């Protein structure tokens, strides 16, 4: 495999019984890229992402993340990635500082690193005063920004973000994307799913999943010209209309993923 790619996937597939959640997807993500992973509810985005993170075993196909094989080297992959799940990923009953300390600690970072990095993040997010506040007391937008900081605390090569801005107000979303750009400037590859098409415009490249397959993959501007659309919204609608899977599948996923 090529060293210029952060992620490669080749005919990656995941089946749950008869149901094909992810159907032969192939793509590459270059190092340092902001890669948007779009699709309607139940299109298979989260399942694909979970396979790449080593949380779910693929049914067939191959994939590498940070140069490691998802089948055999999934524990090595975990050292190189950060992940922010759809569900809130910080501990509500720990303080801001304690959460940072915990995640830094289990990635094997030194005490000095943890102290320095925590101070940096708190300063950066203007959360110095809230350092010793329990996370459950923070508003959602702050929590999401904090969760993102937690996901890149150990300075991974790649960070996976699963709908990080769901339920967040437009101002905070804008701030959140600023943080993503800053992380990208540090050389971190960003793999992000979203439902907001304005956010898709911020990505270097975008893939659109429909019914478990990747229907389109290109830069936002090229996609708009290919599909003769004024905005990413239109591109998405044109593609997503082809979907035959019902949205209720989303619930069905949840029960499987809770393991």
Partner 1 sequence: MRTIKFILQKEFRQIFRDASILRMILIMPIIQLVVLPWAADYEIKNIKLAVVDQDRSEYSRQLINKITASGYFNLAHYSSSYNEALHQIESDKADLILQIPIQFEKELVKENEATLFMAMNAINGVKASLGGTYLRTIIQNYNKNVRTEWIQFPRFNPETQIEIVSSSWYNPLMNYKYFMVPGILVILLTLIGMNLASINIVKEKEIGTIEQINVTPIKKYHFIIGKLIPFWVMGLVVLTIGIIISRVFYGIIPLGSFVTIYVFAAVYLLALLGLGLLISTYSVNQQQAMLLSFFIMMIFILLGGLYTSIDSMPEWAKWITRFNPVTYFIEVMRMVVLKGSSLIDIKYHLLKMVAFAVVFNSWAIFSYKKRS
Residues that bind partner 1 (CB under 8 A): 53-57, 74-76, 78-79, 81, 83, 85-94, 98, 101-103, 105-108, 134, 255-259
Dist. CA 26–CA 13, nearest whole Å = 10
Region class of 66: left (phi > 0), else alpha (psi between -120 and 50), else beta: left
* Nearer to partner 1 (CB atom), residue 84 or residue 200: 84
State the minimum distance, in angstroms, from the CB of residue 129 to partner 1.
Answer: 20
State the minimum distance, in angstroms, from the CB of residue 234 to partner 1.
Answer: 34
State the minimum distance, in angstroms, from the CB of residue 94 to partner 1.
Answer: 6
* Nearer to partner 1 (CB atom), residue 229 or residue 249: 249
* Nearer to partner 1 (CB atom), residue 99 or residue 236: 99
Dist. CA 219–CA 203, nearest whole Å = 8
- Per-residue burial over 186-212, b if 16 or more Cβ lie within 10 Å, else e, is eebbbbbbbebbebbebbebbbbbbbb
State the minimum distance, in angstroms, from the CB of residue 219 to partner 1.
Answer: 29
* Nearer to partner 1 (CB atom), residue 91 or residue 227: 91
Specify whether the CB–CB gap between 247 and 42 falls below 8 A: yes
The alpha-carbon radius of gyration of the chain (Å, integer) is 18
* Nearer to partner 1 (CB atom), residue 92 or residue 169: 92
HSE-CB of 132 using CA atoms within 13 angstroms: 0
State the minimum distance, in angstroms, from the CB of residue 214 to partner 1.
Answer: 23
């Amino acid at each position: 495999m090529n060293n210029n790619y952060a992620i490669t996937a080749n005919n990656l597939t995941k089946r749950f019984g008869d149901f094909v959640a992810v159907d032969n997807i192939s793509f590459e993500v270059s190092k340092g890229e902001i890669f948007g992973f779009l699709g309607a509810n139940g299109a298979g985005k989260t399942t694909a992402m979970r396979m790449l993170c080593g949380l779910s075993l693929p049914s067939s196909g191959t994939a590498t993340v940070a140069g490691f094989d998802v089948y055999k080297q999934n524990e090595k992959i975990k050292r190189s990635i950060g992940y922010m799940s759809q569900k809130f990923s910080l501990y509500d009953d720990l303080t801001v500082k304690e959460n940072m300390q915990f995640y830094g600690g289990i990635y094997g970072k030194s005490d000095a690193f943890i102290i320095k990095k925590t101070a940096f993040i708190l300063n950066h997010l203007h959360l110095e005063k809230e350092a010793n506040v329990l996370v459950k007391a923070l508003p959602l937008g702050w929590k999401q920004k904090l969760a993102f900081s937690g996901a890149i605390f150990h300075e991974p090569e790649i960070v996976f973000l699963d709908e990080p801005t769901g339920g967040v107000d437009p101002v905070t979303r804008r701030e959140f994307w600023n943080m993503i750009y800053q992380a990208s400037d540090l050389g971190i590859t960003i793999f992000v799913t979203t439902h907001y098409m304005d956010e898709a415009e911020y990505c270097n490249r975008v893939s659109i999943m429909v019914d478990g397959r990747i229907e389109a993959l290109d830069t936002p501007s090229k996609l708009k010209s290919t599909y003769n659309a004024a905005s990413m919204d239109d591109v998405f609608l044109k593609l997503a209309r082809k979907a035959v899977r019902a949205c209720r599948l989303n619930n069905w996923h949840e029960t499987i993923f809770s393991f």
